[in-house]
């Protein structure tokens, strides 16, 4: 049975509080820095290479909000500022800086129709299109209703809210996560898969990287198989270099426990093989099953 999922009201409130980080980031090219020379004494100007390696700015709250992976290659520096800095900037300079944020393709920039309540001084026109550029102080001034409408529309750009109901004959530990959103960033497809196989709830919220994932599969007793995925198996999709891009836990009957990304806009949900193949079918797929032919520990416990 198909159903539509949505974040809870409490989750929406939590998202509103964390969606826009407390420090503002402005991505800029070398030749633009001189325009703000007199204003840069109150900020940090961080070279992009140093910025991307910085422990503080690599945190998921920054990365997922500002969409680091989209940033244009010409960016040379990042201005790190307190929220009041942009508010004090000369209006002409402010407009130019906000326009640059649109052009470098960073996150927290939305078509104006998605945020019609945006203050005029935070809206810009670029190539004939109007945008709202969100920064912390501006976000704080928006009404709860405006924030909620934006988040509900924005999450649809990340993942489809349609899902299948959780089958009755699956491990009970999946009930607390299946077809639900998270209140925080972090859990990705690899952690969702390991959680489903192991029954360890805390793993669902971790951001698991490929080597950790492979090591965990071995420790749980999974080995590569040539058979079609069945109940309790794990499907893994890798690129041509063998780097895992996605993984999902098979529930049987063509259904999977799945998470498509590490943001709180990507829910844990039940999907079918058709949806997975539609997103990941261009990659090589490998099936892993338990070496002794038994079902994962969590499933054994469920049947006990």
Q: What's the per-residue H, E or C state across the chain? A: CEEECCCCHHHHHHHHHHCCCCCEEEEECHHHHHHHHHHHHHCEEEEHHHHHHCCCCCCHHHHHHHCHHHCCCCCCEEEEECHHHHHHCCHHHHHHHHHHHHHCCCCCEEEHHHCCCCCHHHEEEECCEEEEECCHHHHHHCCHHHHHHHHHHHHHHCCCCEEECCCCCCCHHHHHCCCECCCCCCCCHHHHHHHHHHCCHHHHHCCCCHHHHHHHHHHHCEEEECCCCCCCCEEEEECCCCCEEEEEEEEECCEEEECCCCCCCCCEEEEEHHHHHHHHCCCEEEEEEECCCCCCHHHHHHHC
Residue 268 φ then ψ, to 5°: -80, 125
Co-location of 11 and 39 in the same domain = yes
The pTM of this model reads: 0.88
Q: 275 pLDDT exceeds 70? A: yes
In contact, 247 and 217? CB cutoff 8 Å: no
Co-location of 200 and 244 in the same domain = yes
Q: Which of 136, 156, 176 is the last residue of a domain?
A: 156
Co-location of 274 and 136 in the same domain = no
Co-location of 149 and 15 in the same domain = yes
CA distance 222 to 220: 6
Co-location of 128 and 76 in the same domain = yes
Q: 66 pLDDT exceeds 80? A: yes
In contact, 66 and 106? CB cutoff 8 Å: yes
Structural domain harbouring 102: 2-156
Q: Which of 156, 185, 205 is the last residue of a domain?
A: 156
CA distance 296 to 302: 10
* Encoded tokens for 232: 């309790």
Any idea of the CA torsion for 196, 19, 96, 35, to the nearest 10 degrees? -90
CA distance 46 to 168: 52
In contact, 249 and 298? CB cutoff 8 Å: no
Q: 297 pLDDT exceeds 50? A: no
Q: Find the length of the chain.
A: 304
- Model confidence pLDDT, tens digit, residues 21-34: 999 999 999 999 99
Co-location of 55 and 74 in the same domain = yes
Residue with tokens 């049975």: 1
Co-location of 281 and 264 in the same domain = yes
Co-location of 71 and 39 in the same domain = yes
Co-location of 152 and 285 in the same domain = no
When divided into structural domains, the chain yields a total of 2
Of 157-171, 195-209, 233-247, 285-299, the poorest mean pLDDT is in 285-299
- Model confidence pLDDT, tens digit, residues 186-219: 899 999 999 999 999 999 999 999 999 999 999 9
> What percentage of the chain exceeds 70 in pLDDT?
96
Co-location of 252 and 196 in the same domain = yes
Co-location of 138 and 197 in the same domain = no
Co-location of 78 and 208 in the same domain = no
Q: Which of 129, 156, 183 is the last residue of a domain?
A: 156
CA angle 195-6-193, nearest 5°? Answer: 15
């Amino acid at each position: 049975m198909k159903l539509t999922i949505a974040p809870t009201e409490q989750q929406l409130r939590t998202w509103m509080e964390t969606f826009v980080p407390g420090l503002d980031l402005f991505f800029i090219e070398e030749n633009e820095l001189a325009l703000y020379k007199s204003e840069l004494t109150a900020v940090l100007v961080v070279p992009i290479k140093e910025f991307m390696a910085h422990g503080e700015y690599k945190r998921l709250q920054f990365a997922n909000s500002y969409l680091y992976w989209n940033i244009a290659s010409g960016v040379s520096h990042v201005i790190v500022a307190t929220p009041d800095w942009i508010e004090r900037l000369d209006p002409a300079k402010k407009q130019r800086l906000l326009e640059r944020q649109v052009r470098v393709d960073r996150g927290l920039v939305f078509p104006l129709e998605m945020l019609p309540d945006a203050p005029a001084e935070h809206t810009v026109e670029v190539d004939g299109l109007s945008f709202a550029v969100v920064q912390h102080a501006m976000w704080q001034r928006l009404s709860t209703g405006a924030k909620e409408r934006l988040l509900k529309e924005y999450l649809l750009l990340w993942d489809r809210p349609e899902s299948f109901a959780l089958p009755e004959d699956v491990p009970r530990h999946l009930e607390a996560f299946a077809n639900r959103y998270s209140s925080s960033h972090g859990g990705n497809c690899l952690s969702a898969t390991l959680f489903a196989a192991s029954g360890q709830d805390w793993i669902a919220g971790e951001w698991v990287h490929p080597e950790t994932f492979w090591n965990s599969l071995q420790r749980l007793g999974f080995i590569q198989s040539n058979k079609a995925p069945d109940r309790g198996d794990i499907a893994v999709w890798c690129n041509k270099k063998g780097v895992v891009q996605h993984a999902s836990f098979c529930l049987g009957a063509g259904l999977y426990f799945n998470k498509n990304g590490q943001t709180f806009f990507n829910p844990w949900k039940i999907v079918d093989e058709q949806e997975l193949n539609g997103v990941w079918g261009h990659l090589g797929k490998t099936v892993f099953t338990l070496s002794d032919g038994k079902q994962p520990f969590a499933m054994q416990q469920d049947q006990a």
